[in-house]
């Protein structure tokens, strides 16, 4: 069973189709949600939370239908919104306790969980201060704490590093990585920063104009490109590339001396150096390279119609 299942999901807002026939099964431990502004990311999140009613198709979260089982789904989801929605005169611990109570926990248990969540995200020492005195980074962390306090099965993070300085961003990313590593909570992370998704997720759903442009297993994508290398060379590469192709390599050379190479599994880098020496080619630099998430994203944006690729994890 997938974490999230989408079946021809269509959502209209203000007479306009915002999600147009989304289909796919998301199984990752941490699922990245990418797409340009207006692609439908926030609408998809709000639909999964039960705020928008589909006009066609269906969606399930852990097998629960988003229309019929709305209350049960919300009990199992922790949601960290992009925009702040605090009660400013509340202390941190009181706010998180209040949110845990709204999620259904008894008052005493909600208070205990609030303390635990605040210590977990690194706000234990400031938990009695009013939220209105918190820095931007602290406000992001307390949004994460309130999403964790009731013990959700799925944690939805909408732009979790939005506006953070480099140190605060690193801390947020490390916390997300720890949550993923513990394995008890699945994550859905929406971000406009490819680096955030690349560092935290093992699967990515890319939306374009309300449609699925790509659904990819990032880990498999990395493994599939393990034998792709780039070289900077000096000397004529014509015969060098011909010999490499004879060994079963895919090879492309460029006027500036760059050579791009995809090697079959039986070929090692030392074989490439030996071939270069035999053909009077000097290799100045060699780099192993894989498709980056940026490459995947840009290919998804370029394809018309949208490229749909469903991957089971």
CA distances from 82 to 5, 139, 240, 271 (A): 23, 11, 53, 51
**Res 289: pLDDT:** 65
pLDDT tier for residue 98 given thresholds of 50, 70 and 90: very high
Nearby residues of 146 by Cβ (< 8 Å), 6 or more positions away: 78, 80, 95, 96, 99, 100, 117
The rounded percent of the chain whose pLDDT value lies above 70 is 93
Report all structural domains of the chain as residue ranges with CATH numbers, in order of start.
4-222+296-302 (3.40.50.300), 227-288 (3.30.70)
Count the neighbouring beta carbons within 10 Å of the beta carbon of residue 283.
19
What value does the mean pLDDT of the chain take? 90
Q: Please tell me the total number of residues recorded for the chain in this structure.
A: 313
Residue 233 pLDDT > 80 = yes
Return the SS3 of 211: strand
Return the SS3 of 5: strand
For the entire predicted model, the pTM comes to 0.79
pLDDT tier for residue 226 given thresholds of 50, 70 and 90: low
What are residue 25's DSSP bridge partners?
5
Beta sheet of 250-253, edge-to-edge order: 250-253, 258-262, 228-234, 282-288
How many Cα atoms within 13 Å fall on the side-chain side of residue 3?
A: 23
Q: What are phi and psi of 266, to 5 degrees?
A: -75, -10
pLDDT digits (tens, 9 = 90+) for 158-209: 999 988 999 999 999 999 999 999 999 999 999 988 999 999 999 999 999 9
**Res 262: pLDDT:** 82
d(CA 118, CA 113): 9
d(CA 151, CA 146): 10
Instruction: Say if residues 60 and 73 touch (Cβ distance below 8 Å).
Output: no
What mean pLDDT comes out for the span 72-88? Answer: 91
């Amino acid at each position: 069973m997938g974490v999230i299942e989408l079946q021809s999901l269509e959502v209209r807002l203000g007479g306009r189709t915002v999600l147009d026939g989304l289909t796919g099964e998301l199984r990752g431990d941490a699922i990245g949600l990418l797409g340009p502004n207006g692609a439908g990311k926030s609408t998809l999140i709000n639909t999964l939370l039960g705020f928008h009613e589909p006009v066609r198709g269906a969606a399930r979260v852990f097998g629960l239908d988003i229309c019929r089982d709305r209350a049960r789904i919300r009990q199992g989801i922790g949601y960290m919104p992009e925009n702040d929605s605090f009660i400013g005169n509340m202390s941190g611990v009181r706010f998180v306790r209040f949110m845990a109570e709204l999620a259904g926990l008894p008052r005493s248990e909600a208070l205990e969980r609030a303390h635990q969540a605040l210590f977990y995200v690194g706000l234990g020492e400031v938990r009695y201060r009013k939220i209105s005195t918190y820095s931007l980074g602290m406000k992001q962390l307390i949004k994460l704490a309130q999403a964790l306090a009731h013990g959700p099965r799925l944690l939805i993070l909408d732009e979790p590093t939005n506006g953070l300085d480099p140190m605060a961003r690193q801390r947020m990313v490390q916390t997300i990585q720890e949550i993923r590593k513990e394995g008890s909570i699945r994550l859905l992370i929406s971000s406009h920063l490819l680096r955030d998704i690349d560092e935290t997720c093992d699967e990515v759903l890319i939306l374009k104009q309300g449609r699925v442009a790509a659904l990819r297993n990032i880990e498999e994508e990395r493994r599939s490109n393990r034998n792709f290398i780039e070289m900077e060379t000096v000397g004529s590469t014509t015969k060098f590339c011909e010999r490499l192709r004879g060994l079963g390599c895919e090879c492309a050379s460029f006027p500036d001396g760059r050579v791009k190479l995809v090697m079959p599994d039986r070929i090692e880098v030392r074989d490439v150096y030996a071939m270069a020496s035999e053909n009077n080619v000097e290799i100045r630099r060699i780099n192993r390279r894989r498709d980056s998430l940026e490459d995947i994203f840009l290919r998804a944006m370029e394809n018309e119609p949208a490229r749909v690729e469903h991957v089971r994890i």
